[in-house]
Amino acid sequence: MNIYEKLNDLQIDTNEHTEQLSHFEQKKWAKRVKRNLGRSKKKSGKMLMISAAAVLVMSASIYLTVPLVADEQYSGGSIESFVSQVQPGDYTDYKKVVDLKQETTSGTLTLHELMIDGDRLFISSLLEPANDFDFSYDKQLEPEVVINGVTSANEFMAQSIDEAGNAFTIYNEVDLAEIPAEEELEISISYHSVLGMEKIELPEPWTFELTVPTEEMTAPSSQIEMNEVITLPEGHTMTVTNTVITPVSVQFDMELSDPEAEKVSFELVSPGGEKTIYGSSLMDSLNKGESYIRFYNYHIEPGTRLVPVHYETLEPLGEGIEVPVINP
């Protein structure tokens, strides 16, 4: 049995936490793409990590509520919609609208919006495939990103949204090898291949080269060192090493004691008792410094707690820890 047949046999429960996550987000987090074949493939919450040699085919298509018409200039969906449809933010001050077009034998790709949030680059594009280019919502464009000469890390997330009029919004979230510190960003974004049940190299890549002031496409962030230990009922532990807060997300970096600690979900609980489930996560006890829990569009109040919960029942597994209030 090859890797594609094995992927087809996987059972993914995307109905967990449906009260907090929209149908869109359930599908988005189930399409996490992982290119580093050396690391184990783990499912955490709404996120499935697989090799970039294969992308799991999902069984739903998503359409715009308003169809496109000939005289409308539409360049693709917003980054806000990719991050969250449940509680969409407004990232106007942190994202860059570029609307660069390139046409190849495979069709026209418009690079629409870019935004850096922490160590991640968000990309929104619009693909108008050529008549003889076989593309659908269950296929993904694989991004290659270089910023100021540094090639992006080995992980990315991808989403293709089927629009009216033979067009697709293409979303990518790319992990950066390092956070750019320069005042100006020299960015190269290219797409050489399509991922589906097999990887197909494009006859001509789409390539975009641009220079952007860092402040025009980067969300400000604040970081605090914590080193707070959360002990689970059976003695397994996780150490929250850092908290990074931006206008887009709140991320808790962690180190886990053992594989059993990977089987935990998390909620933020406000002083009034309101609970918010995490947006994305990576739980990896084997690679220190790799684990994190991330919440989107969340405003931390004094007294907010990060609480571990059972990954199926969402029953609390302790009191958790109080989250520091810092402003990005």
What DSSP assignment string belongs to 184-244?
Answer: EEEEEEEEEEEESSSEEEEEEEEEEEEEEEGGGSB---EEEEEEEEEE-TTS-EEEEEEEE
Whether domain 222-322 has CATH 2.60.40: the reply is: yes
Count of C-beta atoms within a 10 Å radius of residue 264: 22
pLDDT in tens, 143-177: 999 999 999 876 888 999 999 888 999 999 998 88
Query: Which is nearest to 219 in space by CA: 80, 81, 94, 92?
Result: 94
Average pLDDT, the chain: 79
- How far apart are the C-alpha atoms of 8 and 2, rounded to whole Å? 10
- How far apart are the C-alpha atoms of 304 and 323, rounded to whole Å? 6
Whether domain 3-216 has CATH 2.60.40.1630: the reply is: yes
String of DSSP letters for 117-166:
ETTEEEEEEEEEE-TT----TT-EEEEEEEETTEEP-SEEEEEEEEETTT
Percent of the chain with pLDDT over 70: 75
Q: How distant, in Å, are the alpha carbons of 39, 91, 172, 227 from that of 36? A: 6, 30, 17, 28
Which of 326 and 58 is assigned the larger pLDDT? 326
Structure tokens at 7: 């992927």
Predicted pLDDT of residue 282 = 85
pLDDT in tens, 273-311: 999 988 888 888 888 778 899 998 888 899 999 999 988
Predicted pLDDT of residue 164 = 83
Residues of the chain with CATH 2.60.40.1630: 3-216
Which of 325 and 52 is assigned the larger pLDDT? 325
Residue 44 has pLDDT above 90, yes or no: no
Predicted pLDDT of residue 95 = 95
When pLDDT is averaged across residues 92-112 and rounded to a whole number, the result is 96
Q: What's the pTM value of the predicted model, to 2 decimals?
A: 0.75
Q: In what order do the strands lie in the sheet with 222-231?
A: 222-231, 237-245, 249-256, 291-296, 280-282
Predicted pLDDT of residue 327 = 58
